[in-house]
Structure 1
Amino acid sequence: MVNPLRWVLDLVEWFEDRGVYVPGDDSGVVRPWRAFGWIFVGWIFTLGLFILLFALAA
């Protein structure tokens, strides 16, 4: 069965896995791919809905 929520969660995990977290090493720079995975997925999802809305309206 197709589960779109699982696809979204897999996409979030992919973004978050792009960074490497080392426990105890908080002195490094912020890795946006790992730290902001949900924001990236939300932006992609919102952009997709925006495009879909205008595609259906045309």
Structure 2
Amino acid sequence: MVLIVTISAILAIIAGLLILIWPRTLNLAIAIWLIVYGILQLLQDFDILGI
């Protein structure tokens, strides 16, 4: 289960970065949301935030 969540978090970060590099549709809002979501998921997976 943790592996699946970690993979989805990494994919969210990658997708966010790609949208920032090639901005065309709903660009900035979706990109920032994906990056923040991915980072928070990784931090939660490794129990860094203690949430």
TM-score (norm 2): 0.48
- Higher-helix-fraction structure: 2
Highest Rg: 1 or 2? 1
Higher RCO, 1 or 2 (CA under 8 Å, sep at least 6)?
2
